Amino acid sequence: MHIFSFSSEEELNKAGAKVVIDLLMKKPSAILGLATGQSPVGIYKQLVKAYKKGIISFQLIKTFNLDEYIGLNKEHPQSFYMFMKQRFFDHVNIPSERSYIPDGIAPDFNEECIRYDRLLNKIDLQILGIGHNGHIGFNEPGNYLSSRTHVVELTEETRIANSKYFSSLNKVPTHAITMGIGNILKAQKIVFVARGKEKAEIVFQSLFGPITTECPGSFLQLHPNLVVLLDKEAASYID
């Protein structure tokens, strides 16, 4: 595990983007695993900048997003598909048919999970954030974790945290489809990003606490190629 902490947002974002750029230089057809949420947005911005400067091309990559809300179609303003489209996909040259995200309005969600798992090629680089309760993807804390893509019931804590994107808490979906812990850990490399004081404790627990289903992020300790990018606040329990 390599842990880096940065005193400026820009440095952190550039470091995250550099990991992606270095990979694409070596392997233009790399498969990227992507996350939504605030944590990776600055990295996506840096990647858009690099693309606009002609430093990298996304023409040959494939992307797989970690998760999608159940009940929101692609065009819904709060769908994760729309999140990615507005912040990343629309600004680079990824052919739309090469970006995959679970279908939140699939007629049969069990079938959809099986379909997504079959599509999932080996991810070269997974970009990952963490929830305040330790979730990665939408693998919520509990008595057990699932390895493959599955349907989850979101915890109240997660729904409250994500309600900032919705007009009210009751508009936040109750369920989602998410890659499982096994899917995430199979990635060749993981770039784990966290920002802010409110993430400091869960980051510490995830990286140095017991490996337990009560903190899904703790399973990252088992990954052989984990790069951790933190701002000073998120790193404050470690430093």
Number of chain residues interacting with ligand F6R (CB under 6 A): 14
Tell me how far apart the alpha carbons of residues 58 and 98 are, in angstroms, rounded to a whole number. Answer: 10
Eight-state DSSP code of residue 163: G
Which residue's CB is nearer to ligand F6R, number 57 or number 100?
Answer: 100
Task: Provide the minimum distance between the beta carbon of 197 and ligand F6R in the complex, in angstroms, as a whole number.
Answer: 12
Q: Of these, 33, 131, 141, 216, which contacts ligand F6R (CB under 6 A)?
A: 131
| Residues forming beta bridges with residue 189, ordered by sequence position | 125
For 39-131, strand residue ranges (E) read 62-65, 67-69, 99-100, 125-128
Both tokens of 80, joined, read: 């994760």
Q: How crowded is residue 153: how many other Cβ atoms within 10 Å of its Cβ?
A: 13
Which residue's CB is nearer to ligand F6R, number 109 or number 162?
Answer: 162
Task: Provide the minimum distance between the beta carbon of 38 and ligand F6R in the complex, in angstroms, as a whole number.
Answer: 4
> Which helix or strand (DSSP H or E) is residue 83 part of?
helix 80-87
Judged by CB under 6 A, the chain residues 29 through 68 that form the site for ligand F6R are 35-39, 66-67
- Hey, which residues are catalytic here? 67, 133, 135, 140
Which residue's CB is nearer to ligand F6R, number 53 or number 223?
Answer: 223
Residue 207's contacts (CB-CB under 8 Å, 6 or more residues apart) are 1, 3, 217, 218, 220, 221, 228, 238
* 156 residue type, one letter: E
Task: Provide the minimum distance between the beta carbon of 181 and ligand F6R in the complex, in angstroms, as a whole number.
Answer: 12
Please check whether residue 160 is in contact with residue 196, taking contact to mean a CB–CB distance below 8 angstroms: no
Which residue's CB is nearer to ligand F6R, number 27 or number 232?
Answer: 232
> Which helix or strand (DSSP H or E) is residue 125 part of?
strand 125-128
SS3 200: helix
Which residue's CB is nearer to ligand F6R, number 24 or number 191?
Answer: 191
Tally of residues, the chain:
239
Q: Does 176 help bind ligand F6R (rule: CB under 6 A)?
A: no
Judged by CB under 6 A, the chain residues 135 through 154 that form the site for ligand F6R are 135-138
- Which of these segments, 4-12, 18-26, 51-59, 129-137, binds ligand F6R (CB under 6 A)? 129-137
Question: Which residues are at the interface with ligand F6R (CB under 6 A)?
Answer: 35-39, 66-67, 129-131, 135-138
